[in-house]
Amino acid sequence: MRSRKAIAAVVIIAVLLIAFVIVWEYFGVEEVTVTGNTRYSSEQIENMVMTGPLGHNSLFLYLKYHSRSVKDVPFIERMDVTIESPTSVVINVYEKAIAGYVKYLGRYMYFDREGIIVEASPEAIAGIPLVTGLSFDECVLYEPLPVEDTSVFSTILAITQLFEKYSLSADRIYFDDAGDITLYFGNARAIIGTMDNIDEKMMKLTSIIPSVRTLSGELHLENYSADKDEGYITFEKD
């Protein structure tokens, strides 16, 4: 009787070992595709999602993520994991739409296109402009930035979208008391003024900024439009 139990135990263990080897070998991930990521590298995303000793096993990943997304990652709304085959996995990254950030009590407070504070970080993230000139008393995570004129957020979004369109990267967006706009590129300040002809102004900046970024002074484009001559653009050194 004991020998039968021992044989049965050995058979069960052998079957489990064989099953484990099959799962380990057949479902081993060899190809990982990451889409939608700009703020983290593909390797960083992979390390966030495929964690633990079975992190590179597609069957384990399916059981772990088939009915839920990866959340609670700074600047990311969610990440979905799709098993394409036993050896291929796709990680789809959906980033939060960040329009800019303000400084508050030593922290960098990032807000979306509606002015909602979506992240608080001790570090500034490259590619996202600092916004100055806005008046507010406090910043609360997941609540709107309390400014008097909330239309400023649609203006900021329009500017950042044009940055992307024309491959521009400003260090800072400044709003004066009248709402006029100044963009900071290194040591140069581009006086934009109002949003009138903003697309034309941004297009013109693409050809000017490389030559003035290292200079200290003001580039005046507040009166520029494509149908006016170059005399409407001036640069005044400090």
pLDDT tens sequence across 32-41:
999 999 888 9
> Quick one: tokens of 9?
């135990």
In the three-class reduction of DSSP (H, G, I as helix; E, B as strand; rest coil), residue 9 is classed as helix
Calpha distance 230→35 (Å, rounded): 42
Q: How many domains does the chain have?
A: 2
Q: Which of 77, 68, 69, 70 is nearest to 98 (CA)?
A: 77
pLDDT digits (tens, 9 = 90+) for 41-87: 999 999 999 998 888 888 889 889 988 899 888 889 899 999 999 89
Residue 26 has pLDDT above 80, yes or no: no
pLDDT surpassing 90 at residue 174: yes
- pLDDT category of residue 5 using cuts at 50, 70 and 90: low
- One domain for residues 126 and 204: yes
Instruction: Reply yes or no on whether the pLDDT at 210 is more than 90.
Output: no
- Residues 149 and 115 sit within 8 Å (Cβ to Cβ): no
- Strand, helix or coil for residue 27: coil
Q: What is the rounded average pLDDT of the residues 176-187?
A: 91
* 225, 119: one domain: yes
d(CA 167, CA 221) in angstroms, rounded, equals 18
Residue 18 belongs to a domain: no
133 & 181 share domain: yes
Distance separating alpha carbons of residues 102 and 175, to the nearest angstrom: 12
Please report which helix (H) or strand (E) contains residue 200, including its range: helix 198-212
**What pTM does this model have?**
0.71
Q: Are 81 and 65 in contact (CB under 8 A)?
A: yes
Lowest model confidence (mean pLDDT) among 7-11, 47-51, 102-106, 136-140:
7-11
pLDDT of residue 27: 81
3-state secondary structure of 120: strand
Residues 155-163: contacts with CB under 8 Å, at least 24 apart: 155/181, 155/195, 156/99, 156/100, 156/113, 156/131, 157/99, 157/113, 158/195, 158/198, 159/129, 159/183, 159/198, 159/202, 160/99, 160/100, 160/129, 162/198, 162/199, 162/202, 163/129, 163/202
- Band (6; pLDDT cuts 50, 70, 90): low
69-81 tens-digit pLDDT: 998 888 898 999 9
Q: To the nearest whole number, what is the mean pLDDT of the chain?
A: 86
Whether residues 105 and 221 share a domain: the answer is yes
pLDDT of residue 132: 95
CA 181 to CA 195: how far, in whole Å?
Answer: 8
The listed range with the strongest mean pLDDT (16-20, 86-90, 126-130) is 86-90
Same domain, 159 and 186: yes
Domain CATH number, residue 200: 3.40.50
Please check whether residues 139 and 90 belong to one and the same domain.
no
Residue 6 included in any domain:
no
Token couple for 53: 């000793």
Cα 194 from Cα 151, distance rounded (Å): 13
Q: Are residues 68 and 130 in the same domain?
A: no
Residues 183 and 225 in one domain: yes
Residue 108 counted as domain residue: yes
Q: Which of 95, 118, 147 is the last residue of a domain?
A: 95
> How is residue 107 written in tokens?
């922290």
